[in-house]
Structure 1
Amino acid sequence: MNEIGARLKYFRKQKGLSLRTLGKLAHVSHSFIADIESGRSKPSLDTIQSLVKALDISFSELVEDTAFLTKTYGTFKIRNENVVCEELQIYEYLKEINQREDLQLLFKQIRRLSPESIRRVIRYIKMVEDEESKSKNI
């Protein structure tokens, strides 16, 4: 399965669409969509634009250079290890953490804390957010 095919399948399933339904919405044959998802065919730019419109996603979401595994799994490299997650939102958080040293440091510091201590840290972070929000409104 190629990257665009895997992402297409991911978004189609996330939206709860069958191949036939997506085909009707995008004005593309369902068998061609199956071929794209399996990597047997490559879509044209026009076909990609029709698919993203039908799926109500951005062009970059479908063609972005981020490896996706089969089904609903996202993957990217962190220190030469594959990280796999099922939720796109969690995947995006992990990607951001991987790119920001301050977030990496935060997670290193709290990872050995007890659940109650982590809840205290979260309450503190919310308090800081509230203070920043109030100072911006003044």
Structure 2
Amino acid sequence: MVSATVGGRPFDFSREEIERRMRGIQSEPIREHLVEVLGTVYPPKQVLATITGWDRTSFTTMEAQRVLSRVGFVCRRAGTVGGGRRAWVVDQASDGRVEAIAEPEVPDTRLTRLETQLAVAQEAIASLAARVQKLELAAR
């Protein structure tokens, strides 16, 4: 069971409960981010909205990824590989080269989960820094 706060509201769900609630739910189109639940990839906001009943505009993709990662799901960026096939982006080098896994069924490792959680945390910190800067400018 993970306890967290999302958009000022409490979030208390276990991995098993999320899997149970997502069973039989059809995935919406993946745009930029995805999370795998029971062998199906979903947009993170779809999963969080489905299990909580919250409006999707009341939380960010980063918040959805943060809590889903804490529960134990792997969140990734979506991309494409040769021939335009959809893929999970593993790493994007500074020169723009992308390493990707074309098969979402590739077994995950502890290191990959940690890297995913770190990326989510970095994006959340950047988002918070931007919010603070905006509030500081508005206060002047």
TM-score computed with the length of structure 1 as normaliser:
0.30
Higher strand share: 2
Higher helix share: 1
Give the structure with higher Rg (CA): 1
TM-score computed with the length of structure 2 as normaliser:
0.30
